[in-house]
Amino acid sequence: MTLPVVFYLGAEYCPYCAAQRWPTIVALSRFGTFKGLGNMSSSSSDYFGTPSFTFVKSTYTSKYLVFKPVEQESNVFNTAINNWTPLQKPTKAEEALFLKYDSVKFVHGFTTQDNASIPFLSLGNQYLVAGSSYTPAALANLNRNEIAAGLNEPTNPVTQAIITSANEQSAAFCVLTKGQPGNVCNSSGVMAAKKLMGIK
């Protein structure tokens, strides 16, 4: 059986990618297991370095989904090439998917300047996430441990932003997995997200 593919394209320097990784990791962890997630912060030139993780050396195991992450550049600026240090390259098919759907034609509210911006997520070629679902500014002045500890506090506004996005991604994953696992797909948060997204 071919499992649905979740494709992520981002970069370590990118604060919006750093913010988006939190809910994406939370959502995917409901359907499988990560190993080797590295601690990382985005470039200190934007939002003073947003604490997050990197997918570069990670592996993801799931009986429901396949996760294919690409971190294009690191958070280290290379003066020799006047750009961020290259890390990973998407395949031609992944790049074509990114360029087609991460565009004003498919993303409500995009302008042509936003085309091909990161982070980008394709959820089984049925749903997409373009940009961060909340502002990296929400994580300002917090360290990684504080953000993680706060995930157990439902009234914490940062937690609410992360879990809302995680529930929305989980709702989309549940369409791909035909409602499996049931304890995730039938949970109140995911069911509420499905209703808001118009998913039946």
CA gyration radius, the chain: 16
Q: Cβ(189)–Cβ(167) under 8 Å?
A: yes
Beta carbons within 8 Å of 57's beta carbon, 6+ residues apart:
36, 38
Read off the pTM.
Answer: 0.95
Helices and strands per DSSP (H, E), number in the chain: 6, 10
* pLDDT tens, position by position, 157-176: 999 999 999 999 999 999 99
* pLDDT tens, position by position, 2-46: 999 999 999 999 999 999 999 999 999 999 999 999 999 999 887
Q: What is the DSSP string of 135-163?
A: -GGGGTT--HHHHHHHTT-TT-HHHHHHH
Residues of the chain with pLDDT > 90, as a percent, come to 88
Nearest to 53 by CA among 22, 28, 76: 22
What stretch of H or E contains 7?
strand 5-10
Taking CA 100 as the corner, what is the angle to CA 38 and CA 78, rounded to the nearest 5 degrees? Answer: 40
Residue 187 CB neighbours (<10 A): 16
Segment 72-77 shows an average pLDDT of 95
Beta carbons within 8 Å of 168's beta carbon, 6+ residues apart:
133, 193, 196, 197
Domain ranges in the chain?
5-140
pLDDT class of 113 with cuts at 50, 70, 90: confident
DSSP three-state, residue 107? coil
Residue 139 clears pLDDT 90, i.e. is over it: yes
Beta carbons within 8 Å of 183's beta carbon, 6+ residues apart:
none
> Identity (one letter) of the amino acid at 52?
S
Q: What is the DSSP string of 44-106?
A: TTSTT--EEEE-TT-EEE-SS-EEEEEE-EEEEEETTTTEEEE-----HHHHHHHHHHSSTTT
